[in-house]
Amino acid sequence: MPLETEHAQFLASVHPYDALSADDLEALVGLCTTETFDTGAPVFQVGDSIQYLYVIVAGEVEVTDEMDVQLSLLGPRNSFGERALLRGGPSQRTAVAIGATTLIRIPADVLHALIGEHPKIARFFDRRHPARTDAKDLTVLPVNQLMTRDPVTCWPTDTIRAAAQQMAQHHISSICVVDSDCFQGIVTVRDMNAKVVAGGADPDQAVSTIMSPDPLTLPPSALGMDVLHMMMERRIGHVPIVEDGTLLGIVTQTDLTRFQALSSADLVRRVAEAEDAAAMARVTAEIPALLAQLVNMGTRHDIVTRLVTDIADTVTRRLLAMAEVELGPPPHPYLWLACGSQGRREQTGVSDQDNCLILSDDVTDADMPYFAKLAQIVSDGLNTCGYVYCPGDMMATNPRWCQPLSVWRAYFTGWIAKPNPEAQMLASVMFDLRPIGGDESLFDDLQAETLAKASRNSIFVAHLIANSLKHYPPLGMLRGLATIRSGEHRNRLDLKHNGVVPVVDLGRVYALQGQLTAVNTRARIEAAMAAGGLSATGGADLLDAYDLIATTRLEHQAAQVKAGQGPDNYLSPATLSDFERSHLRDAFVVVKTMQSAIGTGKGALG
């Protein structure tokens, strides 16, 4: 059999090349070369420019990092080299033949052509590298690329008539009110109609008398989908983009008409319009299908979980509003916060509820029954909507987690001062707090104070690091994946507790060490890299590993939904190709390496 035909048959058994037709495989092999390496011969080294993707036909290849730490030992049917090839730049790896080794070399331009022409191959390599996205996809479009810059403005002292004339002149439906570049409010056509035409306000009055002061705004770092979700939930048509009090732009419904509204926005709208928890539950029942749709579209894992979490946030705020209608206005300010995956904006198709209430220090014992009832209404409603009660009772219905701000300060101070096992666990949970509804000022100082105190306490940091290492990647002794040994999920990987959670724990430690306010895991790692608490090389490795593990988890859940099953976190390695198993193991090795580094005080690998 000619060597070309033999290699074509070999690649036909290797994913993703098994997606190619026989003719395409023959053509591919004709563009490739083969090379044999003796024992100990380097295929490439750190700093080399990578020109090929290598596929192992026979033999083994050891891949190590810059510190000569083994990352993987690859056998036949595995590939390597695509990392530097697709990302560009010099290699950060060394690959050495172990024994006589034969490789098929796929040139860079050939690989790029395959990715461009064959969606299945493109999707396969996107599992390892950030997916290419449509510039017009609202899920990833930064709002600063969507907003109207330098919007029409007026001064608070300008007359209503003058403001209306500007709106008519520029054919716009709103005008922003500013004072020395400081954003003050907004006036819309609806305001003009309701307050002037129908309400009889004098057109010669100052426009500040009819403006909406302190309207809902978003920062320029927000995404287009954040705007759409806010509009759907709050039923508004204009969102000013503001940073540090300065008006940068505005996004209106007109700005969104050229973009297709994804179904997550429709779910947000329907939740916001729901009359009761049962109606919301009918909407949230569609979340698994939404997740599967987003995954099948190739949406990045962190965008999928953010969109899914947006729905939970809207459900929570709707339930809070319903509770206030039923109970009457709250006697004092309060803030509802989420922790856990909702707090980190990392919810998938499987989520329980983790939440708490921070109350104003003005509350009295007589006020507490109100907040207990509010917590019960919201928690029961969340459970109805599929966010089941927390098995550990980490909910606002637990009196311990429904307390005045001063009590919360005492909690954090005590956990930091005496980091016993319970304190470590609680601190880990509570460092992921994110405000959902209520008076957010109750949290601002608390978060900053806690991060400052905790980061200065070396004993507490050491305990938190030790606690973070209790979740470990599923690596076996003989280059394999360690599956669950017994029980309902025997021979499967737990992609939550042994997959994403170790990275979540690392991100939390990096945030604590650097006093970083980010709560989302990916954002924490990126912030740690930017602040110098994590090296560029170590951070990039960890992000790649996290992306692959989290994407694998979501793809597993999407496949279960498609098969009519309930999504879970337990994956059988047998469902993965050799290539996928190899790279998943590589990802787990990276996580383990980063755990070892932080555990020995070398948190910034590089």
Q: What is the CATH number of the domain that holds 83?
A: 2.60.120.10
- Rounded-to-integer distance, Cα 329 and Cα 17, Å: 63
Domain presence at residue 461: no
Instruction: Find the CATH number of the domain harbouring 282.
Output: 3.30.460.10
Task: Check whether residue 206 and residue 342 sit in a common domain.
Answer: no
Domain presence at residue 137: no
DSSP per residue over 66-111, as a string?
TT--EEEEE-TT-EE-HHHHHH-SS-S-EEEEEEEEEEEEEEHHHH
Residue 259's identity, in one-letter code, is F
Cα dist from 594 to 190, 246, 475, whole Å:
55, 40, 14
Residue labelled with tokens 């978003």: 218
Q: Helix 301-327 vs helix 368-384: angle between axes, to the nearest 10 degrees?
A: 130
Task: Check whether residue 268 and residue 414 sit in a common domain.
Answer: yes
- Rounded-to-integer distance, Cα 102 and Cα 224, Å: 49
- Rounded-to-integer distance, Cα 586 and Cα 73, Å: 9
- Rounded-to-integer distance, Cα 218 and Cα 147, Å: 11
Domain presence at residue 575: yes
Cα dist from 238 to 235, 332, 403, whole Å:
10, 30, 36
Task: Check whether residue 252 and residue 268 sit in a common domain.
Answer: no
Task: Check whether residue 558 and residue 485 sit in a common domain.
Answer: yes
* pLDDT given at position 477: 66
485: nearest Cα among 498, 469, 502, 504: 498
pTM greater than the 0.75 cutoff: no
Task: Check whether residue 511 and residue 588 sit in a common domain.
Answer: yes
* pLDDT given at position 137: 61
- Rounded-to-integer distance, Cα 555 and Cα 436, Å: 28
- Rounded-to-integer distance, Cα 569 and Cα 496, Å: 6
Task: Check whether residue 427 and residue 377 sit in a common domain.
Answer: yes
Buried b (16+ CB within 10 A) or exposed e, 15-25: bbbebbeeeeb
Task: Check whether residue 593 and residue 543 sit in a common domain.
Answer: yes
* pLDDT given at position 126: 65
User: Number of structural domains, the chain?
Assistant: 4
Q: Identify the three-state secondary structure at position 334.
A: strand
DSSP per residue over 484-508, as a string?
--SSTTTT-EETIIIIIHHHHHHHH
Task: Check whether residue 210 and residue 271 sit in a common domain.
Answer: no
465: nearest Cα among 409, 515, 512: 512
Task: Check whether residue 484 and residue 585 sit in a common domain.
Answer: yes
128: nearest Cα among 551, 555, 502: 551
* pLDDT given at position 606: 39
Low-confidence ranges of the chain (pLDDT < 70): 1-3, 67, 69-71, 126-140, 257-263, 477-479, 601-606
Q: Where are the beta strands (DSSP E) in 180-287?
A: 182-188, 212-213, 238-243, 246-252
Q: Which domain holds residue 316?
A: 263-446
Residue 459's identity, in one-letter code, is I
* pLDDT given at position 389: 95
Last residue of a domain, one of 205, 235, 256: 256
Strand partners, 571: 493
Residue labelled with tokens 């002149």: 169
- Rounded-to-integer distance, Cα 546 and Cα 172, Å: 45
Task: Check whether residue 101 and residue 14 sit in a common domain.
Answer: yes
* pLDDT given at position 484: 92
Domain presence at residue 296: yes
Instruction: Find the CATH number of the domain harbouring 539.
Output: 1.20.120
Cα dist from 421 to 175, 425, 426, 430, 600, whole Å:
55, 6, 9, 14, 20
Domain presence at residue 365: yes
**pLDDT per position as a tens digit, 442-488:** 998 898 899 999 999 999 999 889 888 989 999 986 567 889 999 99
φ/ψ (deg, to 5) at 36: -110, 135
Task: Check whether residue 312 and residue 436 sit in a common domain.
Answer: yes
Q: Identify the three-state secondary structure at position 152.
A: coil
φ/ψ (deg, to 5) at 586: -55, -40
Q: Identify the three-state secondary structure at position 241.
A: strand
On whether the CB atoms of residues 590 and 541 are closer than 8 A, the answer is yes
Domain presence at residue 453: no
* pLDDT given at position 135: 43
* pLDDT given at position 403: 97
- Rounded-to-integer distance, Cα 461 and Cα 417, Å: 11
Instruction: Find the CATH number of the domain harbouring 167.
Output: 3.10.580.10
Task: Check whether residue 290 and residue 334 sit in a common domain.
Answer: yes
**pLDDT per position as a tens digit, 531-560:** 999 988 889 899 999 999 999 999 999 999
Strand partners, 52: 107
**pLDDT per position as a tens digit, 58-97:** 999 988 877 676 667 788 888 888 877 777 778 878 899 9
Cα dist from 349 to 296, 387, 557, whole Å:
14, 10, 7
Tokens of 584: 């998943």
- Rounded-to-integer distance, Cα 205 and Cα 162, Å: 10
* pLDDT given at position 91: 83
* pLDDT given at position 262: 46
Domain presence at residue 131: no
Residue 481 DSSP symbol: B
- Rounded-to-integer distance, Cα 140 and Cα 341, Å: 20
Q: Write the CB contacts of 199 (distance below 8 Å, at least 6 apart in sequence).
A: none
Measured on CA atoms in the order 544, 549, 554, 558, is the torsion positive or negative?
positive
Q: Write the CB contacts of 393 (distance below 8 Å, at least 6 apart in sequence).
A: none
- Rounded-to-integer distance, Cα 381 and Cα 42, Å: 61
Last residue of a domain, one of 99, 126, 153: 126
Strand partners, 336: 357, 437
Last residue of a domain, one of 206, 231, 256: 256
Domain presence at residue 376: yes
Measured on CA atoms in the order 240, 244, 247, 250, is the torsion positive or negative?
negative
- Rounded-to-integer distance, Cα 557 and Cα 349, Å: 7
Cα 127 to the chain's mean position, in Å?
Answer: 16
